[in-house]
Amino acid sequence: MSNIILKLPRDCFSKQQIDQMASKITDAANAAEGNLDDPKNHLPSWLFVEDIDAQHLYIDGKPVYPNVLPIVVMLFQPEGALDIQRQTQQAERIDRDIRSVIGPVADQVQISCIMLDVPGDHCGGSGAIWRLPQIAAIAGFQHLTHLVKAA
């Protein structure tokens, strides 16, 4: 149930590649959260693509295009939903899956995966604030059943 922002250099990837990246990144987020097993518990992950003018991409204050294609994946997840092991697996899978989609230019790509924990009283949906135990119960997060039992 992540909110994800995928920032890409404009006109460097096809619509099909972007669609595949979006699908694979979402799959990685859902797998890390462990909410793939039961479709009735699945809370959707939202992914937004932001196209950035390639001429406006810099690393260390220097323009990098066309030699480097920076990609930024920002994942906003409820605080405590993922431990470091799940975050690491998620980042590795996202990197691997993006590279598999883009093929020949994979060597030019630098991927930054930013995982941001959203504090428990800052997760909202359908006009309400949702805390992690509620989210874990609704989403069926198997790795967080102890929170559901304690609530």
- What does the block give as tokens for 32? 């890390």
**Sequence-ordered alpha helix ranges (H) in 67-126:** 84-102
* CA-based end-to-end distance of the chain: 20
Between the alpha carbon of residue 23 and those of residues 77, 89, 115, the distances in Å are 17, 17, 18
As a dihedral over the C-alpha atoms of residue 89, residue 90, residue 92, residue 94, rounded to 10 degrees, the angle is 160
CATH architecture of 3-150: 2-Layer Sandwich (3.30)
Q: If pLDDT is split at 50, 70 and 90, which confidence band does 140 have?
A: low
Domain boundaries, the chain: 3-150
> What is the rounded average pLDDT of the residues 47-53?
96
Map tokens 């899978």 to a residue.
Answer: 93
Summarised one tens digit per residue, pLDDT across range 79-137 is 888 899 999 999 999 999 999 999 889 999 999 999 998 876 677 777 777 777 776 66
Q: If pLDDT is split at 50, 70 and 90, which confidence band does 45 have?
A: confident
